[in-house]
Structure formats: structure tokens, C-alpha cells
Amino acid sequence: MYEPSDPRSKLASTAEAISAADDAVFARFYDMPPHETSEQADVWYARGHNFIAVYIDARSGVVFTRRNQIDEYVVLVPDESTAVEATSQGIPTAIPGRRIAFVPPGDSALKVVSPGRLVILITTQSEDLCGACYNNEKFSSRSASLPPFKPWPAPADGFALRQYPIDVPDVPGRFGRIWRCSTFMINFFPQQIGPRDVTQLSPHHHNSFEQGSLALEGAYFHHLRWPWTRDLNSWRDDAHERFESPSLLIIPPGVIHTSRAVASGVNQLVDIFSPPRHDFSQQDGWVLNHDDYPIAVSE
């Protein structure tokens, strides 16, 4: 599955791919009109089974508000020039650019102080936002391959707004730049400058969780293969889909996949998992904020 030099080669081997009957989600935000638009922001919504991605092109002053939010959500501020003021538990906190933040349950508000891009990741437990997603009807029934959504334990010292700088130096043997909270695991990959080496791809699959791949810069080919079953009528052609940015791919359980950066300049990809992954969490040093959130007991 992985080359010996790939840090993921240390993970326990995955069993044979399950029969994958679900469609992938191809959300090309750059090629679709905003789902909401105003003088203050253009907003796009897309969802999988467990999470919603909200991509916002925000002007100064726009406010994203949550009342009685059921669980933690994620805020990505990918650009240095963007700044946000987050108010949670009645306390205002500045979130500068190039940060990832986890916002507690309850009431909260995000005010854009300096304009730019904002990505909010929130679970589908927030049913009011599910209906805003252009592909909501696709998820009217749950995949048989996915277990019920179950959040991880709360932080030992209680929920609080926590934020971390994205620009973390690479360390040999560590895969990407990973953070987790009780509802999400985010891998904000280092920038890929120029196309990926086509002799060093990493096709793999996950049997019991979906993956989101959010392209923030550049362009990617996402290569997907659905395993064959005994029933020829269920076979599918491979997919080789080019994505510009911003865009989101949601990969169902069982689908063999790999992504290939193809732009000549900066390519930036963010992987999204909800809830967090046990296998990544068990690797020493991979989760950068592991001390802030306990590991859930694997069942």
C-alpha cells in the first residue's frame, strides 16, 4: 500500500477493501455559484455523512453565529492576511491568519476582522446546516459501511476555544501536520511546490470511515477505484477527476484512492476525518495537540 519511506507504512495493514457501493462527492466550489451571497460574503456548503464543509469568501464585518451548538467545530484561517475575532463562552479571542481553531459547544460567533477565506467544518449533528448543502438529499440514508457517529472524549480541562499555528516545521517520520478535537481530525499538509512525482503515489483505502480532501491552492487529480464484487452489474469505472481550488472531494469507505498535485506552483491539500482516526492518533508524535484531547477507547 505504501512505500517504506512513507510514514504511513508504520500503520497496521488494512484488510481487503470492502465492497464500496457509495458515490464520491465532487464539490468544485470554483465552478459553482455561491449557495448564499451577500455584500459581506459568498458561501458554499457541501456535506458527507458525518461532516459539513462551509467555504466562505468573506469581507470585513461578516459574522458567522452558532446558538446552542451541539458539539465542537473547526475554523481554518488559511491565509496570513485574514483575521477573525471568535467569541465563545462570552470571551472574545483573536484568531490571526494561518491558524486552525476548535470552537466549543454552546453559543459562539466568528467576526471577520480582515477579509479573506474562511473554512468552517462542522458535524452533521447540526441539522440546520445540513439543509443548506447542495448535496443534502444524497445523504438521506446512511451508508452501511459507516458506524454511527460518535464524538471523542472532551478535553480533560474542559471545552475552550483552542487555536494552533498551521506553519509547523516538518519532522522526519511524522506524516503531515495533524490536529484533533472531539469531533474532527485535520491534516493540513505542507505545500507541494509543483507536480507530485507520479512514481511515488500512495493508493489506499479505509474500510470504516469517509475522508474529505479539501484543495485550497493549485490543482489535483483525484484517482478513485471501486473494488469489484461478485456481481458484475455493480462494477464501476475508475474515476480520474481533475480539481482546481477551492474544491472538496469526499471519499466513501472502501474506495481505493490517491491524490496527485499537478499545478506548477503551490498546491495545498487538507484532509478531513470526522470523528478522529484511531490509527493516526496511536502514532507517537503525529498529532500535534495530543496533550489537549484524550484518545477515545477503540471499540
Write out pLDDT tens, residues 98-136. Answer: 999 999 999 999 999 999 999 999 999 999 999 999 999
Q: Do the beta carbons of residue 213 and residue 26 sit within 8 Å?
A: no
Q: Do the beta carbons of residue 62 and residue 111 sit within 8 Å?
A: yes
Whether the upstream peptide bond of residue 246 has omega within 30° of 0, thus cis, is yes
Provide mean pLDDT across the span 256-262: 97
Q: How far apart are the C-alpha atoms of 90 and 47, rounded to whole Å? A: 29
Write out pLDDT tens, residues 179-195. Answer: 999 999 999 999 999 99
Query: Is the pLDDT score of 22 beyond 90?
Result: no
Query: Is the pLDDT score of 267 beyond 70?
Result: yes
How high is the pLDDT of residue 10? 64
Provide mean pLDDT across the span 5-16: 65
Query: Is the pLDDT score of 8 beyond 80?
Result: no
255 in helix, strand or coil?
A: coil
How high is the pLDDT of residue 12? 63
**Count of CB atoms within 10 A of residue 164's CB?**
16
223 versus 21: which is more confidently predicted? 223
Q: How far apart are the C-alpha atoms of 292 and 156, rounded to whole Å? A: 7
Identify the DSSP state of 98. S
Query: Is the pLDDT score of 226 beyond 60?
Result: yes
How high is the pLDDT of residue 18? 63
CATH fold, domain 7-135+148-281, is Jelly Rolls (2.60.120)
User: Percentage of the chain with pLDDT > 90?
Assistant: 86
**Count of CB atoms within 10 A of residue 273's CB?**
20
Quote the distance between the C-alpha of residue 8 and its chain's center. Answer: 18
Query: Is the pLDDT score of 17 beyond 70?
Result: no
How high is the pLDDT of residue 265? 98
Residue whose entry in the numeric block shows the C-alpha cell 492518533: 281
Q: Which residues pair with 103 in a beta bridge?
A: 73
Question: What is the pTM assigned to this prediction?
Answer: 0.93
How high is the pLDDT of residue 162? 98
How high is the pLDDT of residue 1? 57
3 versus 286: which is more confidently predicted? 286
Can you give the residue ranges of every domain in the chain?
7-135+148-281
